[in-house]
Amino acid sequence: MSNMGEIGWVSDKEGGYRYQTTHPQTKRSWPQMPELLHELWQELTKFSLQPEACLINYYDAKARMGLHQDSDEQNLQAPIMSISLGDKARFRLGGLKRQDPTRTFILSSGDIVILEPPLRMAYHGIDRIVPGSSRLLHEGGRFNLTMRRITSGQ
């Protein structure tokens, strides 16, 4: 797990999960998001504000992500856009309540998911990845890049 952009999503024993502008161990800023990602966000979301955070998550063959809502951002009107790279994954999308029915999609390398109102707060997760289903990464596995606008201001 790592980040690009002005703000990163971090966690440690002391502080739990939170957004912060520096790496909790090195205290350094996160590297900039490549211009290409800014352009992709602009083109696909048409949102008025630029993304501030890009979370980089790596999934090995056994990794999964439980059903969750993304609700830690100040700006809950802003879309969240993610890019999948490497092995395929089974993405589960539900509704605004945890008990709502869910459906699943296979996300392949290069696929993009955008959660925006009215599904901005929909429950979602990764059931499993499909090991060996892409040749993009020599080490196998899957990267997910999740881009977000955190603050409401400029």
Residues lying near ligand MD6 in the complex (CB under 6 A) are found at: 57, 65, 70, 80, 82, 84, 91, 113, 115, 124, 126, 144, 146
65's contact among Fe ion, ligand MD6, none, with CB below 5 to 8 A by partner kind, is: ligand MD6
Query: In degrees rounded to 5, what are phi and psi of residue 101?
Result: -60, 150
115's contact among Fe ion, ligand MD6, none, with CB below 5 to 8 A by partner kind, is: ligand MD6
Are the C-beta atoms of 148 and 33 separated by less than 8 Å?
no
Nearer to Fe ion, 30 or 91 (CB): 91
Nearer to ligand MD6, 6 or 141 (CB): 141
Q: Is 111 in the site for Fe ion (CB under 5 A)?
A: no
Return d(Cα 35, Cα 39) in angstroms, integer: 6
Query: In degrees rounded to 5, what are phi and psi of residue 35?
Result: -55, -35
* Residue 68 C-beta: closest distance to Fe ion, Å: 6
Instruction: Provide the binding-site residues for Fe ion, judged by CB under 5 A.
Output: 70
